[in-house]
Amino acid sequence: SLSQFGATILPKDVQVGERIGEGQFGDVHKGVLFPQTTGEQVVAIKTCKPEASDVERAKFLEEAAIMAKFNHRHIIKLFGVMSHDSTTYIIMELALIGQLRRYLMTEGAHIAYPILLQYICQLCSAVVYLESKNFVHRDIAARNVLLATPELIKLADFGLSKRLEDTDYYVASKGKLPIKWMAPESINFRKFTGLSDVWMFGVCCWEILMKGVKPFVGVKNDEVINMIEMGQRLPLPPDCPAPLFDLLNQCWQYDAQDRPTFAKLEHMLMAIVEQERLEQPR
Ligand code: ATP
């Protein structure tokens, strides 16, 4: 049944607009949804091109099935799926500004540390929610964080997410993996857990504090694991206070068990925000 993908949307209720991005399976467009019950809604529309195989189409729809399970202010919401002229569409909440990384690269000079800290706190609340639902995202990176408004982030791209079932970790099959964001146990054994997501969260926070600079630039993927095993970590970003850099380094503990959980990180972040308020009263 299609219900696992949210509502089935009728082609007559959707108007596909300008192209705003490119996904693994096809273009992403802006659009308008005209539902019977509520008013019209601006949406993002992900397409799976007609020439995709059945296996690819199933993988494409898997992301919708995962998004359908979530309801959180900082996670892109699913509206439903649609099929028309052999093309499959996923219709979801639009993050109007788009990729956080691009925004930080272009507007970064005007964005002060308190805003960056706010992004980090919002992202943390999204991953705390995923953790509570027993999901591992597996691709937490600034490229997958979108902006709805200049102060409102939305986590996107659930293409790699997996629900943890009986075992507490997921072993990935071969495929393109984001090595420079990955925990050592994920690189070495393709082992993914809530605590490997914590490592990735640390890398994503670093990218935010670096205003969109990617981790380990100029380092080959093959060399990253050696650097990590030698104890090397990403450097202190400008304007990053010591307690926040300490939090990042806790995310990058070699042994997963030594890393804080997201719930713990959220508390540590609240203390950092509180400290920031005391120092910069507004
Ligand atoms: P990849 O695997 O290469 O990341 P993908 O198939 O997972 O691609 P996304 O990364 O989810 O696709 O989407 C591709 C691009 O489309 C995003 O980087 C972003 O610029 C844009 N985009 C996707 N979803 C949205 C959305 N809900 N709101 C605004 N822009 C979006």
User: Is the distance from CB of 105 to CB of 48 less than 8 angstroms?
Assistant: no
**Residue 262 clears pLDDT 90, i.e. is over it:** yes
What strands lie across the sheet with 98-99, from one edge to the other? 98-99, 145-149, 152-155
What residues have CB less than 8 Å from 127, skipping those under 6 apart? 137, 140, 155, 197, 201, 262
The stretch 205-211 carries a mean pLDDT of 98
**Residue 166 clears pLDDT 50, i.e. is over it:** no
pLDDT digits (tens, 9 = 90+) for 18-31: 999 998 899 999 99
pLDDT digits (tens, 9 = 90+) for 154-164: 999 877 766 66
pLDDT digits (tens, 9 = 90+) for 70-98: 999 999 999 999 999 889 999 999 999 99
* Full DSSP string of 113-153: HHHHHHHHHHHHHHHHHHHHTTEE-S--SGGGEEEEETTEE
Known catalytic residue at 139: yes
Examine the predicted complex and report whether its ipTM is higher than 0.90.
yes
Q: How far is the CA of 60 from the centre of ligand 1 (A)?
A: 12
Tell me the helix, strand and coil percentages in the chain, rounded to 5: 45, 20, 35
Q: Distance (Å, rounded) from C-alpha 244 to C-alpha 72?
A: 25
**Residue 55 clears pLDDT 70, i.e. is over it:** yes
Q: What is the pTM of this model?
A: 0.92
Instruction: Name which of 93-102, 107-116, 132-141, 200-209 the model is least confident about.
Output: 132-141
Residue 281: per-residue pLDDT = 65
Q: Pocket around ligand 1: residues whose beta carbon is below 6 Å from it?
A: 20-25, 28, 44, 76, 92-95, 98-99, 146, 156-157, 159
**Residue 172 clears pLDDT 70, i.e. is over it:** no
The stretch 170-183 carries a mean pLDDT of 78
